[in-house]
Amino acid sequence: MKILHVVGARPNFMKIAPVMAAVARAGFAQQVLVHTGQHYDAAMSKVFFDDLGLPAPDVYLGVGSGSHATQTAKIMIELERVCLEAKPDLVMVVGDVNSTLAGALVAAKLVIPCAHLEAGLRSFDRGMPEEINRLVTDRVCEILLTPSQDGDAHLLREGVPASSIHRVGNVMVDSLLAHLPAAQQKRVTEAMGLTPGQYVVATLHRPSNVDDAETLPRIMRALATLAREAPVVFPVHPRTRARLADLKLLAEVDAAPGLRLCEPLGYLDFLSLFSRAKLLLTDSGGVQEETTALGIPCLTLRENTERPVTVDLGTNTLVGTDMDLMLREARRALAGQGKAGRVPDLWDGQAAERVAQVLKAWKERTQ
List all residues 6 or more positions away from 50 whose beta carbon is below 8 Å from its beta carbon: 266
The arrangement of strands across the sheet holding 30-35 comes to 59-60, 30-35, 2-7, 90-94, 114-117, 143-146, 165-167
Q: Residue 130 in contact with residue 122, Cβ under 8 Å?
A: no
Q: One-letter amino acid identity for 34?
A: V
How is 42-62 classified by DSSP, letter by letter? TTTTHHHHHHHTPPPPSEE--
Q: Within a 10 A sphere around the Cβ of 235, how many other Cβ atoms?
A: 20
Running DSSP on this structure, what letter comes out for residue 162?
A: G
Which ranges in the chain belong to alpha helices (H)?
A: 10-26, 46-52, 68-86, 98-109, 129-140, 149-157, 171-185, 188-191, 207-210, 215-227, 238-246, 250-255, 267-274, 285-294, 309-312, 323-334, 351-366
List, in sequence order, every residue forming a beta bridge with 201; answer none if it has no partner: 233, 280
Return d(Cα 203, Cα 206) in angstroms, integer: 10
How is 111-126 classified by DSSP, letter by letter? T--EEEETTT-----T
Return d(Cα 134, Cα 124) in angstroms, integer: 11
Q: One-letter amino acid identity for 29?
A: A
Give the catalytic positions in this structure. 205
